[in-house]
Amino acid sequence: MTSLLRNVAALIAAVAIMQLASGLLGVRIPLAFSEEGHSRTALGLVAASYSAGFMMGAMIATQLLSRVGHIRVYAACAAIFSVATLALHFTGDVWSWGMARMGAGIAVALMFAAIESWMSYSISPRTRGEVMSVYMVLTKGALALGPFFAFTYASDSPEPWMIAAALIALSMVPICFTGAEQPDPPKAQPLALVEQFATAPAAVIGSFGAGLVNGGVLALAPLYAAQHYGPEAAAEFYSAAFIGSLLLQWPAGRLSDRVDRRLVIAALAGLAALAAFALALWSGQLTNWGAVLLFFLWGAGALSFYGIAVAHMADRAEPGKLPQSAAGLLFVWAAGSVIGPLIMGPLVDWFDVPGMFWFAGAAALFVCGAMFWRRNAREQAMEKEEFSPQIGTSVAAGEIAYGDAKAKDEPDAIATADNPR
């Protein structure tokens, strides 16, 4: 395990550094955008632009990786992401921010595709769980820590953009200096979304619901925190959500290995719904720590059930079709991430912050109800893949977590820099 982690350490380090920047931007963007005087509807459009760019990047990832290789794709996209981040300081209109964030979404999707397909190539089936646990802890921990890199600066100061761009540029260093051999070019597979829904409807519904609930709340919640508790509270709220997910996702996933995964998804969605409704009902009346605790509980539920939806699909997918299934779920998740901010932005403009939480609670409640509906319609899978933590990053993440047909036929294969799988 130690030698394997050394083999993928550069890859995990690169993503962790990049996620520090993503966590910083997750708080800085809504605060700075609001300071410019734009509406929440406009912020929802900007957030949706990022998710739309992410979808486009995922669509072209295979072709680019095949043409120029993983290191070049990552380095070029890190440069684009860095420039798109700096551009936010020099532009003020909604469309310029939307285009910059769309470019950033394309770049980030390609960066994750390069890293995660490389990791899938480098690790062996029997160590996937350990590698994914380290990967999840460091990436979500970085997202939680990132906002504190610049929380002391005013919302209109240039330093946060410069810090984020510097972190993105630094993430290239481990990749460019790694001695690990690059993987073979990946093969593209069609999404076949209708087939994915027929295979595991609960997984598709859960993935879409995760994007629908999370995309808008994470984009707009920093404004709620700043409005009621001061700008410095925005970092606390954003971090609390990811810490909650980090602490609960693994135990919930292990529980889903023993009981019907749809029940676990329902419980997590129900927790997210209760926390969202509480934030809507008592918006502005809670103490700072009371609101942070509720947002911690919301993140523990809402940011955790996507990974279990992927595991549910892995239980039912045909051998050799997991990459195709993972691609389908990623695109469904991204579609929800586009729609959520577009709906929540106007709701906040019309009904203030409670409108966002009412919608998030209702969407999570829908996911909860859908899981019980599907459980009554179809029995759970007789054989299960062992749960591995999952986050919405790239198509290759599904292969890392659950392997492919070839990996299952080679349970004792050990991948190293000198003996790649």
What are the residue boundaries of the structural domains of the chain, listed by start? 2-409
- Residues 311 and 332: their CA atoms lie apart, in Å, by 15
Q: Is residue 107's pLDDT more than 70?
A: yes
Burial 243-274, CB ≥16 within 10 A → b, else e = bbbbebbbebbeebeeebbbebbbbbbbbbbb
Q: Is residue 326's pLDDT more than 50?
A: yes
Q: Is residue 172's pLDDT more than 90?
A: yes
Q: Is residue 323's pLDDT more than 50?
A: yes
The proportion of the chain whose per-residue pLDDT surpasses 90, expressed as a percent, equals 46
Cβ contact 15:171 at 8 Å:
yes
The predicted model gives 394-419 an average pLDDT of: 47
Record the tokens describing residue 239, joined without a space: 């971090």
The closest of 195, 186, 190, 187 to 317, measured between CA atoms, is 195
Cβ contact 298:386 at 8 Å:
no
Lowest mean pLDDT among 150-154, 258-262, 276-280, 287-291: 150-154
Which H or E run includes 187? Answer: none
Cβ contact 354:277 at 8 Å:
no
pLDDT of residue 271: 97
Record the pTM.
0.86
Query: Which residue did the predictor score with more confidence, 297 or 387?
Result: 297
Average pLDDT of every residue of the chain:
84
Cβ contact 394:62 at 8 Å:
no
Cβ contact 124:7 at 8 Å:
no
Q: Is residue 406's pLDDT more than 60?
A: no
The answer for residues whose C-beta is within 8 angstroms of residue 98's C-beta and 6 or more apart is 45, 46, 49
Query: Which residue did the predictor score with more confidence, 189 or 182?
Result: 182
The answer for residues whose C-beta is within 8 angstroms of residue 134's C-beta and 6 or more apart is 5, 12
Task: Map residue 164 onto helix, strand or coil.
Answer: helix
pLDDT of residue 388: 60
E strand residue ranges, 327-382: none
- Residues 171 and 339: their CA atoms lie apart, in Å, by 30
- Residues 362 and 293: their CA atoms lie apart, in Å, by 20
Which residue in the block uniquely carries the two structure tokens 């909604």?
A: 94
The predicted model gives 102-130 an average pLDDT of: 82
Query: Which residue did the predictor score with more confidence, 391 or 217?
Result: 217
The closest of 330, 240, 250, 363 to 292, measured between CA atoms, is 240
The predicted model gives 387-391 an average pLDDT of: 61
Quote helix, strand, coil % in the chain, to nearest 5. 80, 0, 20
- The predicted-structure confidence for 194-233, as pLDDT tens digits, reads as follows 777 888 899 999 999 999 999 999 999 898 888 888 888 8
Please state which of the four CATH numbers 3.40.50.740, 1.10.3720.10, 3.40.50.620, 1.20.1250.20 is assigned to the domain occupying 2-409: 1.20.1250.20
- Residues 187 and 118: their CA atoms lie apart, in Å, by 13
Lowest mean pLDDT among 85-89, 215-219, 290-294, 350-354: 350-354
Record the tokens describing residue 396, joined without a space: 């290759």
